Structure 1
Amino acid sequence: MSTSSLRPRPARKSDRNSTLASTLRTAARVTTAAGGVAAATGALTAAGGLLGTRDFILHEVTAPVLAPGTFDRLRRFHADAWPVGRDDFTILHVSDLHMLDHQKLKQRWVASLNQLDPDLVVNTGDNLGEEQAVPGVLRALGPLLRRPGVFVFGSNDYYAPHPVNPFNYLLGKKNPPSEVELPWRGMRAAFLEHGWQDATHHRTDFAVDGLRLAVGGVDDPHLNRDDYDALGGGPNPDADLAIGLAHSPEPRVLDQFAADGYQLAMSGHTHGGQLCLPGGRAIITNCGIDRSRVAGLSRWSERMALHVSNGLGTSKYVPFRVFCRPSATLVHVVERPSQ
């Protein structure tokens, strides 16, 4: 074999064009395949997020905020209601229904929570998702309205949802509410008619099975509608349990609740982050609290606990939940440890 046969032959222009064309075709196939995977992944994520809006779950947490000896006193004076072995007061926390009239599955699921036999129902707002939704809300809450209950409203009780710029959430900017007013007055009248109490800029004292409650609340801080001074002071010092309510858990309001001696603050609004990373890790809270408090029970101060519901619905313009199942919570209020 001659040495000349071992030398690489110089590529002709036609060969170089053929090679380039082949490379481009390969790159196109790879790009198309990657795009298809990305599109498929996006479609699966979107489908999972849409299905996630119907994947309801009940959480249960224990809040040790009552003074030691509270249940012994109740047993002495209300033995029938507080038999030996009953050492908790249960609060069903529902929030952010964002109800649409056709959401019959959600309505049935919320109504079924009555089987939990809660001592108190707390509703922290954003019940409505459209103008036609009041009947759906009343179907969902119907059995619970026969129990002791308190409520405050959120922005989506007052104003209908509308398409907004989603990047504002990521940038920490508030989207202005729409100009379409929802029929919140009729819903409020129905709540009151059934016996629930409106805690908006109001303090109310009542007892459930002898447990003395003091509840105060503010209008939605997310819309800057809160006026804490309108409460006219802190809770009744004779109460066994003082609860502060605000739709959005803004630190300025929570600090005021804590300073005035409330033992438990309850809010919604965050949707638990709604579009979360695996493990339910929130990207944003849509309010002033940090991401570690975006849902569930946490300690706000030495004597005040905070419970934030991740809610049961979404805006109809963003009907997705990713790694963040819609939920209600049964809060077991118990005595704090003796010191």
Structure 2
Amino acid sequence: MTAQAHSSTTKDELLEYRLSLRLGPVHARQRLRIEQEAEALIFGQDHHSFHLENWSASHHWIKGCLWISGMLKRGQRNSRKLKTAHNSFCLPNLPEAFEGLRILHLTDLHVDMDAANLQAVIDHIDPLEYDLCVLTGDYRKQTWGAIDDALAGMKKLRSAIQGRAIAVLGNHDSIRMLPGLEDMGYQILLNEHAWFERDGDTLYIAGVDDAHFYKAHNLHKAGDQIPHGSTTILLSHTPEIWREAGYAGYDVFLCGHTHGGQICLPGGIPVTLDSDCPRSLGRGAWRRNGMQGYTSPGSGTSVVNVRLNCPPEVTLHTLTRGPG
């Protein structure tokens, strides 16, 4: 065995050891083996979820169509023109200490897709005021391969995020990214929960592993230890588990994945949302099964660095007990 091969083997073994300690051996093995088996495949584990970005011709085909139509440059400019979307969740049982709590929601950043886009995100969030930042996955451009560029972009972003940053992984994100992200100061929830305390009151935040491609989510493990009757926020990369999340009793569901369609027809009508959920859950605020949710169209792009009739956004959520 060459010195280089030995070094690579040692690094892989160390990674597996760290992941086993962090996640438990079963979850670590599951995620690593699924990644190895499904790397660069077009269809997911259920043979229904679809990775358009893994179809080798898709990038050139879509880009060519946009160039012919004269919309390529316009779409690229649009992808860097972020807006701040403001959303409020009215929660009558919200502890008084959290009245007016502001949550910055970032998702689908694909930080290694376009350096100008990442810088636009950083510049956009710099003047914003918020109490907590949450991120709902898809930090890498590809769904396979190297992770170094994505980690470098996430490190740059972390320096721009004020205070605590709680995150989950998406279908583009390798579990191999976990140690690096946590070393940077991101608190990654993989079928786990965290809490946010203020003036003696507690807000609980649960997060699940990717439910779209890897099917590695576990709502029970994420929330079983949260005290009954607590105010709860669930972070999921995809809205696809909206039904079971509502039955589990979460108050708020934050997600992304859909990009809002990214390339939409006039009026913001998405051509596709790449998600097994009602189209009404594909972008913006929604309510289902007594649960309030928000699907952000995200800040980045996938497949091609273009947005049409679907501007990128960062979202500021405000929690309130309501009038009176």
Q: Residue in 2 aligned with 1:281?
A: 269
Query: Do structure 1's residue 266 and structure 2's residue 254 form an aligned pair?
Result: yes
Distance 1:45 1:210, change over 3 A: farther
Q: Residue in 2 aligned with 1:187?
A: 180
Q: Residue in 2 aligned with 1:126?
A: 138
Q: Residue in 2 aligned with 1:212?
A: 202
Distance 1:325 1:232, change over 3 A: closer
In the TM superposition, 1:1-339 aligns within 5 A as 42-67=68-93, 70-71=95-96, 74=97, 87-100=99-112, 103-110=115-122, 112-129=124-141, 131=147, 132-144=149-161, 146-158=162-174, 184-191=177-184, 194=185, 196-208=186-198, 210-223=200-213, 224-231=215-222, 233=224, 235-237=226-228, 239=230, 241-250=231-240, 253-302=241-290, 304-315=291-302, 317-336=303-322
- For 1:58-79, what per-residue CA distance to the aligned partner results, in whole angstroms no more than 9, with x for missing partners? 11111112427x43xx3xxxxx
- For 1:218-271, what per-residue CA distance to the aligned partner results, in whole angstroms no more than 9, with x for missing partners? 1111111222333362732353x3101110111xx2222222221100111000
Distance 1:199 1:189, change over 3 A: closer
Rounded to whole Å, the distance in 1 between the matches of 2:301 and 2:261 is 11
Instruction: State whether residues 234 and 260 of structure 1, in contact with CA within 8 Å, keep that contact through their aligned partners in structure 2.
Output: no
CA deviation after TM superposition for structure 1 residue 210, in Å: 4.7
CA deviation after TM superposition for structure 1 residue 277, in Å: 1.1
CA deviation after TM superposition for structure 1 residue 307, in Å: 0.8
Instruction: State whether residues 284 and 291 of structure 1, in contact with CA within 8 Å, keep that contact through their aligned partners in structure 2.
Output: no
Partner of 1:98, secondary structure, is coil
Distance 1:148 1:42, change over 3 A: same
Partner of 2:86, secondary structure, is strand
CA deviation after TM superposition for structure 1 residue 310, in Å: 0.4
Rounded to whole Å, the distance in 2 between the matches of 1:306 and 1:208 is 23
Partner of 1:269, secondary structure, is coil
Rounded to whole Å, the distance in 1 between the matches of 2:66 and 2:224 is 56
Rounded to whole Å, the distance in 2 between the matches of 1:150 and 1:52 is 28
CA deviation after TM superposition for structure 1 residue 154, in Å: 0.5
Q: Residue in 2 aligned with 1:26?
A: none
Distance 1:153 1:111, change over 3 A: farther
Q: Once superposed, which parts of structure 1, at least 4 consecutive aligned residues long, lie more than 3 Å away?
A: 39-43, 208-211
Rounded to whole Å, the distance in 2 between the matches of 1:258 and 1:188 is 29
- For 1:148-186, what per-residue CA distance to the aligned partner results, in whole angstroms no more than 9, with x for missing partners? 23110001111xxxxxxxxxxxxxxxxxxxxxxx85134
Q: Which amino acid aligns with 1:220?
A: D
Partner of 1:325, secondary structure, is coil
Distance 1:64 1:279, change over 3 A: same
Instruction: State whether residues 283 and 291 of structure 1, in contact with CA within 8 Å, keep that contact through their aligned partners in structure 2.
Output: no
Instruction: State whether residues 247 and 289 of structure 2, in contact with CA within 8 Å, keep that contact through their aligned partners in structure 1.
Output: no
CA deviation after TM superposition for structure 1 residue 278, in Å: 1.1
Rounded to whole Å, the distance in 2 between the matches of 1:51 and 1:123 is 24
Distance 1:233 1:282, change over 3 A: same
Instruction: State whether residues 113 and 301 of structure 2, in contact with CA within 8 Å, keep that contact through their aligned partners in structure 1.
Output: no
Partner of 2:140, secondary structure, is coil
Q: Which amino acid aligns with 2:187?
A: Q
TM-score by length of 2: 0.70
Percent of pairs with identical residues: 27
Instruction: State whether residues 62 and 334 of structure 1, in contact with CA within 8 Å, keep that contact through their aligned partners in structure 2.
Output: yes
Q: Which runs of 5+ in 1 are unaligned?
A: 1-38, 75-81, 159-181
CA deviation after TM superposition for structure 1 residue 134, in Å: 1.5
Rounded to whole Å, the distance in 1 between the matches of 2:151 and 2:310 is 26
Q: CA RMSD in A?
A: 2.6
Rounded to whole Å, the distance in 1 between the matches of 2:281 and 2:165 is 25
Distance 1:235 1:57, change over 3 A: same
Instruction: State whether residues 101 and 135 of structure 1, in contact with CA within 8 Å, keep that contact through their aligned partners in structure 2.
Output: no
Partner of 1:156, secondary structure, is coil
